[in-house]
């Protein structure tokens, strides 16, 4: 009967966690919720999850009831340095749920006297995976518990596999949404090009032709004004189409912004260092920021010459756009003066980067963006 009760308990655990995973749409929230639920149903006091990227960089993605020794200095012991479970993950030895002999992070917390460790010395660890794709590790621990049974490890492995599968599902959904958004942008851009763009061009040609058919100066003046308005609207429309569908972004951010500058009638001098490829989401955000900066230059700087810098290191990418135009009075103690500039800063903040704005009246304006690549 005892074995039957354990099996029922295990199935109920898997059912409860599966329901949580099926409802999940955000990886961070999902990992926290599932970890909490797993520890509750298994009656284990603490656990944590590391996500690990292709380069081996890890982050503490979720944790529950960590002992004080591991939360010292805003969880510093969990966010830096290596440990044995990560070593096994990196060199390929961690293929299934296993008992880790001792926890290096706990040992260091005890040695450095960072705080109470709840008398935890060991933990079980299991890789998060979906098929052959790996995402990180799940660790659980309990005071005085030095070994997990085969049944407990099998349960952890089942849960970890469910988590990995859910993470893959969320990734695919996000990619599908991104693809759908791109397709909608392309469709709208094509509609604008085929309808409004052609209509504006026709108005401009009609005004030019009509002007040649009249001798009345006031009528010619009005038709000339119509031509200028149509040309300005046509330029704005081309810029809008570019914003919806950045033709040339497939050739890199520099090529895309250089072409966009040409559309706006700007001369852009480029200086590129150490850049090969960038992650898609970062490249698209830099594209949107660069667009806004070029638009601002076109509308307000009263100059058509700008300089563009792009440099990349192992950990960051830097983009700077500068003009020697009219500038404006600004210092960092004041708020960002326009919605466009605020939008640029918000994009950078979402990427956990730094946004710098420098402008002096009569001297020019420079924006500089530094974004971490990890």
Residues 310 and 169 in one domain: no
pLDDT greater at residue 167 or residue 280: 167
Residues 149 and 280 in one domain: no
Residue 183 lies in a domain: no
pLDDT greater at residue 319 or residue 330: 319
Residue 217 lies in a domain: no
Residues 372 and 262 in one domain: yes
Residue 280 lies in a domain: yes
Residues 166 and 255 in one domain: no
| Whether pLDDT at 128 is above 60 | yes
| Whether pLDDT at 196 is above 90 | no
Last residue of a domain, one of 175, 208, 236: 175
Strand spans (E) along the chain: 46-52, 58-64, 98-100, 123-130, 133-141, 267-273, 305-312, 316-323, 354-360, 364-372
Residue 238 lies in a domain: no
Residues 273 and 165 in one domain: no
Residue 219 lies in a domain: no
Instruction: Tell me which residue of 292, 283, 281 sits closest to 344, measured CA to CA.
Output: 292
Residues 21 and 161 in one domain: yes
| Whether pLDDT at 1 is above 60 | no
Domain containing residue 258: CATH number: 3.30.565.10
Residues 158 and 289 in one domain: no
Last residue of a domain, one of 143, 175, 207: 175
pLDDT of residue 140: 94
Residue 185 lies in a domain: no
Residues 270 and 138 in one domain: no
Residues 18 and 144 in one domain: yes
pLDDT of residue 179: 66
Residue range 236-272, pLDDT digits in tens: 777 776 666 555 666 788 888 998 898 888 999 999 8
Residue 213 lies in a domain: no
pLDDT greater at residue 100 or residue 293: 293
Whether the Cβ atoms of residue 142 and residue 120 lie closer than 8 Å to each other: yes
Residues 252 and 343 in one domain: yes
Q: Which residue has the tokens 């040309």?
A: 231
For the stretch 242-247, contacts whose Cβ atoms lie closer than 8 Å and that sit 24 or more positions apart, written own/partner, are 242/291, 243/288, 243/291, 244/185, 244/186, 244/188, 244/189, 244/192, 245/185, 245/186, 245/189, 245/190, 246/287
Average of per-residue pLDDT across 273-289: 82
Share of the chain above pLDDT 70, in %: 87
Cα 47 to the chain's mean position, in Å? 27
Q: Which residue has the tokens 């950078």?
A: 348
Last residue of a domain, one of 124, 156, 175: 175
Which domain covers residue 91, as residue numbers?
2-175
Share of the chain above pLDDT 90, in %: 26
pLDDT of residue 7: 66
Q: State the total domains in the chain.
A: 2
CA dihedral sign of residues 17, 21, 24, 29: positive
Residues 157 and 269 in one domain: no
Residue range 23-52, pLDDT digits in tens: 767 888 889 988 988 898 888 999 999 999
Residues 35 and 165 in one domain: yes
> pLDDT grade, residue 126 (50/70/90)?
very high
pLDDT of residue 2: 44
- Note the pTM of the prediction, 2 decimals: 0.56
Residue range 76-123, pLDDT digits in tens: 999 988 888 888 898 888 888 888 767 889 899 999 999 999 999 889
pLDDT of residue 247: 57
Residue range 179-193, pLDDT digits in tens: 676 666 667 766 666
Structure tokens, 164: 């990995």
Residue 19 lies in a domain: yes
Residue range 323-373, pLDDT digits in tens: 999 888 766 655 565 677 888 888 899 889 999 999 888 889 999 999 998
Domain containing residue 155: CATH number: 3.30.450.40
End-to-end CA distance of the chain: 51
Whether the Cβ atoms of residue 356 and residue 368 lie closer than 8 Å to each other: yes
């Amino acid at each position: 009967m005892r074995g039957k009760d354990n099996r029922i308990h295990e199935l109920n655990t898997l059912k409860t966690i599966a329901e949580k995973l099926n409802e999940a749409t955000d990886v961070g929230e999902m990992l926290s919720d599932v970890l909490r639920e797993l520890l509750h149903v298994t009656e284990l006091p603490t656990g944590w999850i590391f996500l690990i990227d292709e380069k081996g960089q890890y982050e503490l993605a979720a944790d529950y009831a960590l002992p004080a020794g591991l939360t010292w200095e805003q969880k510093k012991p969990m966010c830096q340095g290596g440990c044995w479970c990560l070593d096994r993950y990196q060199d390929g030895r961690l293929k299934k749920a296993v008992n880790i002999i001792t926890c290096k992070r706990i040992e260091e917390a005890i040695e450095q006297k960072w705080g109470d460790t709840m008398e935890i010395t060991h933990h079980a660890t299991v890789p998060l995976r979906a098929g052959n794709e790996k995402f990180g590790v799940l660790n659980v621990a309990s005071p005085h518990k030095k070994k997990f049974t085969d049944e407990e490890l099998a349960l952890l492995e089942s849960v970890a596999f469910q988590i990995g599968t859910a993470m893959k599902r969320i990734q695919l959904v996000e990619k599908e949404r991104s693809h759908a958004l791109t397709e909608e942008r392309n469709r709208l851009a094509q509609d604008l090009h085929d309808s409004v763009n052609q209509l504006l061009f026709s108005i401009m040609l009609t005004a030019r032709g009509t002007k040649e058919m009249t001798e009345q100066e006031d009528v010619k003046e009005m038709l000339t004004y119509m031509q200028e308005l149509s040309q300005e609207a046509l330029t704005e429309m081309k810029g809008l189409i570019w914003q919806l569908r950045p033709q040339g972004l497939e050739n890199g951010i520099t090529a895309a912004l250089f072409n966009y500058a040409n559309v706006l009638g700007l001369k852009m001098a480029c200086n590129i260092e150490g850049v090969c490829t960038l992650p898609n989401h970062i490249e698209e955000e830099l594209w949107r920021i660069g667009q806004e900066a070029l638009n601002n230059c076109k509308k307000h700087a009263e100059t058509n010459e700008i300089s563009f810098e792009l440099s990349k290191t192992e950990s960051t990418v830097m983009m700077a756009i500068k003009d020697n135009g009219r500038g404006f009075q600004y210092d960092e103690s004041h708020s960002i003066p326009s919605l466009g500039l605020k939008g640029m800063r918000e994009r950078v903040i979402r990427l956990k980067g730094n946004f710098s704005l420098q402008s002096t009246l009569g001297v020019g304006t420079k924006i500089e963006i530094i974004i971490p690549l990890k």
